[in-house]
Structure 1
Amino acid sequence: MAGKAAASRVTAGVSFAARLAFDRISHQFSPTAPTLHDVSLAAEPGEVLCLLGPSGSGKTTLLRIAAGIEAQTRGRVLLNDREIAGPDIFLPPEKRSIGLVFQDFALFPHLTILDNVRFGLTALSGTDAKKEAMISLARVGLEDYAQSYPHILSGGEQQRVALARAIAPRPAVLLMDEPFSGLDSRLKDSVRAETLAILRQSRATAIVVTHDAEEAMRMGDRIALLKDGRLVQLGTAEELYNRPTSLFGAGFFSELNIFEARTLNGRVDTPLGTFASPGVADGSAVSVAVRLSAFDVSETQGETPARVVSRRFLGVVELLEFAVPGADRPVRARIRCGALSASVREIWLTVRKSDVLVFERTSESA
């Protein structure tokens, strides 16, 4: 059924895809509660840009500012280099050609699916609005449910209706605020893949808010990582994972073992071995972050002896904790199931250097 619906979907694109730029955006609800600090970034035409960060990092506030639901304290919002919000102008939401998909879908229970989708098509005649709404429903594979009501739909189908409603006016930019957070983990993967395919087909610029790093990597052409209302790093998933600029960024994309040390002659000593610390001055206090995926394990040979403290079966991998000489807390690792026999306790570890990251020490934590 799902395959048949997907095969029959309409693939017509939006009128145009726009560039949406935030220029030095700051925001605060009160003088003592700043939420955004001088944030500058842009979603390029046809790009899926993910805003990633923990709760309270300013992601949703930035989205609401783009939509016109919230006004920034300072800075400008530009659509194709045209200012739509700034010191001297503030276009209302309906004038911005920006669509919004809410976290809770926000469907009207007393309206049919068709009427929900055509709700925002007020500039069109009744006939034209119905036609555009049906095209939008076909694009998400739900045209057969046009006369049904939201309560009969699954969570994934309701999310697709909300998406159809947002793309029906053919916006230049589509904003999505944690659109998959209400779905169970199995359904989330399939709905997320369907949504990404629809975004690609409609060719709209999209900004997606999420607190899930894997979701951001799956969906985003680029990722903007936020913390405490500030832009920490902007780039592709590969750039943010392989070349994080901070311990916070590294910890957001991977679980880490962290050791505190000082550099000497361009290197740093840890209980897991000695590693290079390029670009860090001798004598500097550093945090050495070792990903849980960094370990090769053996029962007979390796670089560092260790004793298995606990192990947890997770299917494809096992989560292990080791006692390592010189470490004041257990070292954690994710290893392939079957790499160690069930009864083994004394083992050897070898650390892959590519999974070791060194940062000058600050007050932040991963």
Structure 2
Amino acid sequence: MTSDIDMNDRRDLCGTRCLVLGGGGFLGVNLCNALVTCGASVTALGRSLAWPNALNPRVAWTQGHLNDISALKEVVRGQDVVFHLASSSIPAISNQNPVADLEANVQVTVQLLDVCRGRDVGKLIFASSGGAVYGQPEALPIPESSPTDPVSAYGISKLTSEKYLALYRHLHGLDYQILRVANAYGQYQVPHRGQGVVATMISRALSGKPLEIWGTGDSIRDFVHVDDVVTAMIEACAYTGAYKIMNVGSGCGLSINQICRDLETVIARGPLVKTYKPSQRGDVPANILDTSLIQHELGWRPRVPWLTGLRRTVHWMAEAHQPRSRMVSRGERITRLNEERAMAFTIQQG
């Protein structure tokens, strides 16, 4: 399986000690594997691994929760870079229990910052949400200077966590970088968890189930491939400039209806059945991120075109979700796919 993560564009991370919180999830698995390929010494902390055998064997896996302060102190100590990707709520349903969302995200983030400031952490990189913190935008595409007016508890939690990062830098000198990530998609995304519209649609299409669309399907979102997100995160490690908040997205908008049409083309099984449901309260009609700042500051740009990324994701999910009756186990299939990606990285390094 090919990848647009080009190791030659990377700063040398050989020997850099990196901790990935939320390392068993979608973004975490992809980031851990890429960091290892860059030569970093990687530790991952997470509640569980979404995909068996997904992590490169050179990643030191620790099962745990950010609420476990003792475990957190143990893995954080002496890390050069800590990536905070952990999130315990789902944007679409966070408003149903804002207290739980606050405890699961803001409280654990503040606890993490307290741990980091006393344990020689070089830098903390926080995955915020470019789709949730801005709310209804004044103009498109949305720059980092746009007003933040989130319409979900999830967005408020992300924005509040950003403010605490700035506070801890002011009070304690803790270095940080915030990346406001658009709607990421790609390999290792788990469907059916209330987020990840691309993965959910692909899974339902491959299973012959109707595609569920909230509202008219005309809402527009910014979709960015996970390889591009991982590249931005790794490039942010060595950034020492003044801008602490950067958008990470494709800079282009796609409607949900357009995704359905493109999926029909890629899967080539004829028209897909669609079921339209009432729109969810708080949905904004459009969200497209302006990525000119990160392009200028980090030299980063999205490299995976939408249709290319969609084809790769369909191929990956078709392989990963083959029936269990096949002779090859799912774990072995995941391992094989990992080996294919690692070989692609090695070829690009050569």
TM-score scaled to structure 1, two decimals? 0.27
Q: Which has the larger radius of gyration?
A: 1
The structure with more strand, counted as a fraction of residues: 1
Structure ranking higher on relative contact order (CA contacts 8 Å, 6+ apart): 2
